[in-house]
Amino acid sequence: MTEPLRLESYLDSVAVHSPGLAPACQTVSALAEAGKSISKILARGRLAGALAEVVGESLDGDGQKALDVMTNDLLRDALSVSPVAVFASEEVGEPEILDIHAKLAVAVDPLDGSSNIETLAPMGTIFSILHAAPVVAESFLQTGRHQLAAGFLIYGPHTALVLTMGDGVRIFTLDPDQGFFVLTRDNITIPEKTREYAINGSNLRHWEPQIRFYVGELMLGKTGPRGEDFNTRWLASVVADAYRILVRGGVYLYPGDSRRDYKHGRLRLIYEANPVAMIIEQAGGSATDGHTPILDLAPNAIHQRVPLVFGSADEVKRVTDAYESKVVTELPLFRSRSLFRKGTESLG
């Protein structure tokens, strides 16, 4: 029986064949080690303390939880002994210089889905690895096309590392008995067709007409223009929805909407949308803000927000087509005014 390929062996092979990626390989290894520690904490749940306790203010206004701080510190410590010049995190206002002479810049969302801490739903750590710029402070202000590697750790029934080094997408699963990651899925390709979509339907009234139109078609099922029934999924964790889409197809939508502070979406371009988009594209899917591929967007701030639609290529194209169309009108299902007035006949 062939021994499963360990993460370290894979990274060693990448470094040998592509020496320029050797520092990125070393950094991925450090992130994976931090992920093991995070996985152990999560496995203990409340036995590890009040992980969901709000201990400070967060950039998104939801409050910084104890586990947010713990994961941020674990990742920072791991990267401080790696070839990383500058570190950016959702939990910290400004990037931190770790080693001015190092070659890489790493941006992370330490704990995606932290609202799920006490619900046993999946959470994750998302990361993006770039060359450090000559002016270190500007390292993250480059498009996602410049990423050397990207990935996420997902903590659920088991812990897995989804990784791309620019040559496809692989999934490594943590063997809790042996303490190392092994390759369990290789060269992943997202199915082009899907009947699943992920969106927070409670925000329907705030969506732009194009999103209401697209989702409205899906919700009409077999009786609508798509001619088939679709299922909706929403896990309140980007990594959980991304993982599902990678293994069985689908589309994820977190658009901008009319709520205060949501015009430009809620997810962060540099350390959420960019790494996810690189993974999705490497697996044959698409990722867009509705108009432009995510990886072509030029950031202008570390914590810049962006609308995000990603997944099976056919479905993502339908969303961009809706934005490009000049004749999109809302389906009756989503009209903002009733077709009826009290005591009158239909307005038609």
Give the active site residues. 62, 68, 90-91, 109, 111-112, 272
* Token code pair at residue 165: 């080094």
**For residue 285, what is the DSSP state?**
-
Measured in degrees and rounded to the nearest 5, phi and psi for residue 234 equal: -155, 115
10: nearest Cα among 147, 169, 132, 128: 169
| Residues 6 or more apart whose Cβ sits within 8 Å of residue 208 | 255, 256, 257, 258
Provide long-range contacts, Cβ within 8 A and 24+ apart, for 42-48: 42/67, 42/123, 42/155
Q: Which helix (H) or strand (E) holds 85?
A: strand 84-89
The residue type at 41: I
Say how far apart CA 67 and CA 65 lie, in whole Å: 5
236: nearest Cα among 62, 69, 57: 62
Q: What's the sign of the alpha-carbon dihedral 135, 101, 76, 235?
A: positive
* Token code pair at residue 3: 């021994």
Estimate the crossing angle of helix 22-44 against helix 66-80, to 10 degrees.
Answer: 150
* Token code pair at residue 251: 């589309």
Q: Which helix (H) or strand (E) holds 105?
A: strand 104-112
How crowded is the C-beta side of 97, counted as CA atoms within 13 Å?
Answer: 10
| Residues 6 or more apart whose Cβ sits within 8 Å of residue 222 | 228, 229
Q: Which helix (H) or strand (E) holds 104?
A: strand 104-112
Q: Are 5 and 182 in contact (CB under 8 A)?
A: yes
